[in-house]
Amino acid sequence: MKQFRYAHRGLHDLGQGIPENSLAAFRRAVGRGFGAELDVHLLADGSLAVFHDSELKRMTGRDGVIEELTAEQLADCKLGGTEHAIPQFFEVLELFDRAKLPLVVEVKSYKGNHDALTARTVEELDKYGAPYVMESFDPRCVLWLKRNRPEIIRGQLAKDFLRAPDETSGMGRVADRVLTDMAFNRVTKPNFVAFKFEHRDCPSLRRVIRHKSAVVFYWTIRSREDMEAAEAEGAQVIFEGFVP
């Protein structure tokens, strides 16, 4: 999968009426020959939705938590003031299956559903032929993959949660430090680490690079200059806001 660049939440451009994590954004990525990164949530009816936040407000203007709703209840939610709806995961998989282009699938855990979410996501992925890797900020999702589906390429998402007040995990300072240090990697043995590009001087990432213990993905690359710097390090790039 090294020959690909990955469009963050699809090749979106809200100025052109193409919101993030919309089918239009994923079709645009496919049309340009890019892979894509996307976010998966487990809904109350057991289906899977492609959406970044647990809270609906930022992208739909509606109150509510996506995990507490069903696909039917989400059907009339529109993304970013457009007519585009929240896609179900299988709809995106169908696109990339036909194109045989790769996906970076982030599983977004919520209130202890890490095992159920990861298992259900893998169940859906097994129905299609698109190449993919899986990742999560939650090391329990990565651990489920190691224990149950070790053949799937798995990644630990990370950043320096201690760097700024808005970089908190929401789980307390102890958890922030453990997640920043990627201490769980000793147990979960991720194949890759997906790290915030602006935090690439973080000691835990430099340790991974020095020991070559995992492949590195950088997110989110927002300029050609940063893309070239990331690729010069041998990293994979997840990009947004420009077309490489």
Contact in structure between 85 and 49 (CB atoms under 8 Å): no
Q: 90 CB contacts (<8 Å, ≥6 apart)?
A: 48, 124, 127, 128
Instruction: Answer yes or no: is 39 within a domain.
Output: yes
Please determine, for residue 122, whether its predicted confidence score (pLDDT) is greater than 60: yes
Predicted confidence at residue 87, as pLDDT, reads 98
CA distance 106 to 104: 6
Domain that holds residue 16: 6-239
- Total residues found in the chain within this entry: 244
Find the mean pLDDT for residues 86-93. 98
Please determine, for residue 239, whether its predicted confidence score (pLDDT) is greater than 70: yes
- Average pLDDT of the chain to the nearest whole number: 96
Find the mean pLDDT for residues 27-47. 98
pLDDT bin (cut points 50, 70, 90) of residue 166 is confident
Q: 182 exposed, middle or buried (CB, 10 Å; 0-12, 13-18, 19+)?
A: buried
Look at residue 172 and give its three-state secondary structure: coil
Q: 240 CB contacts (<8 Å, ≥6 apart)?
A: 7, 8, 9, 12, 220, 221, 222
pLDDT bin (cut points 50, 70, 90) of residue 167 is confident
Instruction: Answer yes or no: is 244 within a domain.
Output: no
Predicted confidence at residue 21, as pLDDT, reads 98
Find the mean pLDDT for residues 155-179. 88
Chain centre distance of CA 212 = 22
Q: DSSP letter for 66, please.
A: G
Instruction: Answer yes or no: is 225 within a domain.
Output: yes
Instruction: Answer yes or no: is 141 within a domain.
Output: yes
Predicted confidence at residue 19, as pLDDT, reads 98
The residue type of 134 is M
Question: pLDDT tens digits for 15-34?
Answer: 999 999 999 999 999 999 99
Q: Which of 187, 183, 198, 129 is nearest to 154 (CA)?
A: 187
Find the mean pLDDT for residues 116-144. 97
Predicted confidence at residue 61, as pLDDT, reads 97
Q: What sign results for the dihedral spanned by CA atoms 212, 217, 219, 224?
A: positive
CA distance 45 to 68: 9
Instruction: Answer yes or no: is 1 within a domain.
Output: no
Please determine, for residue 165, whether its predicted confidence score (pLDDT) is greater than 80: no
Instruction: Answer yes or no: is 57 within a domain.
Output: yes
The tally of domains found in the chain comes to 1
Find the mean pLDDT for residues 2-9. 90
Task: Say what the pTM is.
Answer: 0.97
The residue type of 3 is Q
Instruction: Answer yes or no: is 47 within a domain.
Output: yes
Instruction: Answer yes or no: is 206 within a domain.
Output: yes
What spatial distance separates the first Cα and last Cα of the chain, rounded to whole Å?
17
Residue 104 maps to which CATH number?
3.20.20.190
pLDDT bin (cut points 50, 70, 90) of residue 2 is low
Find the mean pLDDT for residues 147-166. 93
Contact in structure between 213 and 195 (CB atoms under 8 Å): no
